[in-house]
Amino acid sequence: MPEIDAAKLKEIYTNMVKIRFFEERAITEHRKGLPGFVHSSIGQEAVPAGVCAFLREDDYTITTHRGHGDIIAKGAQLDRMMAELFAKKTGYCKGKGGSMHIADVSRNILGATGIVGDGLPIAAGVGAALKMQKLDTIMVAFFGDGSTNSGAFHEGIGLAAAWSLPVLFVCQNNQYQQSTPTRDYTRLTDIADRAKGYGIPGISVDGNDAIAVAEVAREAIEKCRKGEGPIFIVANTYRTVGHHMGDPGTSYRPKEEIEEWKKKDPIKRLRQQMVQNKTATDAELDEIEQNVLRELDEAVKFAQESPEPTPEEALEDIYA
């Protein structure tokens, strides 16, 4: 495989910064009093940015309650996402979905589900549709380590394996299922070993190393496109913040553990790698960050100034 080129690395860096700043801003704005919950993915940015770097626009994705990053990396607009968090009419779901249900069907971002594990059977269904249409488009399901304990995980991955569907399963192993550490719910030390039960490849990767994630994902995506799917990737990472914004995340995790993972910050790491390889200068990367901050200011302004949905709209776009 050729090395990942400079333009692609800058794209990955930009997406990671977008995710980090979006999450930070979302927490700040929520503390001022927005409805709903925010589950932040701070610390996990290398996973979606690395995986989505080699996806095409027509590839499909689905994610979870902690899905902002996966949605941003697939190309969603920050202003419409922010408006959704603000419960405004201009939001991706017209303000009725909130943080946990953002979808951008125009970019084949099929959305998110707050029900742990429930994205996997949906992914298998989409994968089956793609296969029946003989397309080389693929489906990517992002989910957490805790999801691998749900029945839906086994149903989804089992069917995708039995029918050789073009689905890439990406587990973001942030070491905790809410407050339960992985060692308390499985004997496995590598969650990727669960793939063996389905006879499909299971690949474990350092989820704080964006380049490593992108390389593993690129190969897996190509294989899925050629009909060699499904493939299960486990990216080992950490959320350096609490489970959601109301959880300080310190009662069930040792302080030292959080500090250790903060030292492995994926954004700092990629910056170091890029500057060392002379892929970019610090000044160029600073400029990327400044541009993203400006984009976020505009996104928040757009959300603040957007109209609220009217009461009559509550009954539109729903099934009964």
Ligand X SMILES: Cc1ncc(C[n+]2csc(CCOP(=O)(O)OP(=O)(O)O)c2C)c(N)n1
- Which chain residues interact with Mg ion by CB under 5 A? 144-146, 174, 176
Minimum distance between the CB of residue 64 and ligand X, rounded to whole angstroms? 6
Judged by beta carbon, residue 45 or residue 145, the one nearer ligand X is 145
**31, 56, 183, 252: the active-site residue:** 252
The reply to whether 169 sits near ligand X by the rule CB under 6 A is: no
Cα 307 vs. chain centroid, distance in angstroms?
A: 28
Query: Within a 13 Å sphere around the CA of 280, how many CA atoms are in the beta-carbon half?
Result: 22
**20, 30, 68, 239: the active-site residue:** 239
Cα 45 from Cα 145, distance rounded (Å):
16
Per DSSP (E only), the strands in the chain are 60-64, 109-113, 139-144, 167-173, 176-177, 180-181, 202-206, 231-236
Cα 113 vs. chain centroid, distance in angstroms?
A: 12
The reply to whether 115 sits near ligand X by the rule CB under 6 A is: yes
Query: Is the four-CA dihedral 237, 282, 277, 18 of positive or negative sign?
Result: positive
Active site residue 239: yes
The reply to whether 188 sits near ligand X by the rule CB under 6 A is: no
Active site residue 243: yes
For ligand X, what does the binding mask look like between residues 147 and 166, x meaning CB under 6 A? x-------------------
With contacts defined by CB under 6 A, how many residues of the chain interact with ligand X? 14
- Residue 114 binding target from ligand X, Mg ion, none, CB below 5 to 8 Å by type: ligand X
Q: Which of 178, 250, 277, 290 binds ligand X (CB under 6 A)?
A: 178
Question: Quick one: DSSP state of residue 309?
Answer: P
Q: Find, among 1, 38, 3, the residue nearest to 278 by Cα.
A: 3
**30, 243, 244, 253: the active-site residue:** 243
Report the interface residues with ligand X, using CB under 6 A: 65-66, 114-116, 144-147, 174, 176-178, 243
The residues annotated with a catalytic role in the active site are 239, 243, 252
